[in-house]
Chain A
Amino acid sequence: MSRQANRGTESKKMSSELFTLTYGALVTQLCKDYENDEDVNKQLDKIVFSHFLPRGYNIGVRLIEDFLARSNVGRCHDFRETADVIAKVAFKMYLGITPSITNWSPAGDEFSLILENNPLVDFVELPDNHSSLIYSNLLCGVLRGALEMVQMAVEAKFVQDTLKGDGVTEIRMRFIRRIEDNLPAGEE
């Protein structure tokens, strides 16, 4: 009963340069549309639902289904397993990189993803007037949105960024709580 030819396991390749440049165009446009960097950061992470361009969070909410369909990964039993799947399967699948997982908090509810090279920032230099822009903040939104759909509320934020002169890019992930399923209203 093998399903080797499952379309879910095929992965389509695209030019990473095209991807990087497209992302750059998105960030540039946001910088034009919004006055300050804080707003751009928020847009990239995107808490509020937008009706035209789904960004970070909204991408994550959709991407998780694609991810599960392709990867056949089951439910994770703890946050460590989640961290492994994110770094070794998800990042590999969508960005072609495998971040390393470090700096676990003693309670096991926080860890860091270290990206040696971040494909989003090839060819990118931050101009001086955008010093507080978190260029790759979209990734945080994606992670947050995707994990929320598998009943995990997390916080994701950049703590180091090569664009700002740090040696590596570091995303800090914090587990907040597990979201419980509720029976839909009107049923018992």
Chain B
Amino acid sequence: MTVHNLYLFDRNGVCLHYSEWHRKKQAGIPKEEEYKLMYGMLFSIRSFVSKMSPLDMKDGFLAFQTSRYKLHYYETPTGIKVVMNTDLGVGPIRDVLHHIYSAEEGRPAAGPRRCDNHPPRFCAPGLFKHTDYSSCGNLEGGAYADERRVWLGGGRFYAD
């Protein structure tokens, strides 16, 4: 099981974090463009899914897959969006994505000061580095634990 990459967006579509691990092919466009494209697609698919829903919506859009990869989506009520691309063998990982969100956001006092004019952001220069992922062991067979090593190393930041 493989995790390809991870995006975090704030409610305004700003990419707060991006990292990649087993991404064999790039999109061929600048990263900023890629984030915009990704956010735009998410925005559209959310509104499409809710418009077309034949039943009352509960959680809305969760994932899509192609023949090669699967995109998992998690959105908090405050509009923070966590997107992870994995291979096809990964089941629902809503709680993993929530954990990624909560690991950073669950310790607001520990993070550096956030700018007053912005809602909370993942400004911490060490996203994932301070985070104890030892509790994340078992993503259906342990792939997550293997990824953990890499997670602790990677990380690029788009802070103010």
Contact = CB atoms under 8 A, between A and B. Distances in A.
Interface of A: 1-8, 49-51, 54, 58, 61-66, 68-70, 72-76, 149-151, 181, 183-184, 186-188
A75 B39 CA distance: 20
Interface stretch (B17-25, B114-122, B150-158): B114-122
Contact of B96 (A3, A65, A149): A3
Contacts of B39: 184, 187
B116 A69 contact: no
- Chain B interface mostly: loop
A134 to B, nearest CB: 23
17 contacts: A2-B95, A3-B136, A5-B134, A6-B99, A7-B132, A62-B108, A68-B102, A70-B102, A70-B106, A72-B95, A149-B79, A149-B119, A183-B43, A184-B12, A187-B13, A187-B39, A188-B40
B103 A7 contact: yes
A3 B78 contact: no
Given A49-B116, A68-B105, A69-B106, A3 B36 contact: no
A187 B36 contact: yes
B105 A65 contact: yes
A184 B12 CA distance: 6
Contacts of B78: 64-65, 68, 149-150
B46 to A, nearest CB: 9
Given A62-B108, A187-B36, A68 B119 contact: no
Contacts of A75: 77
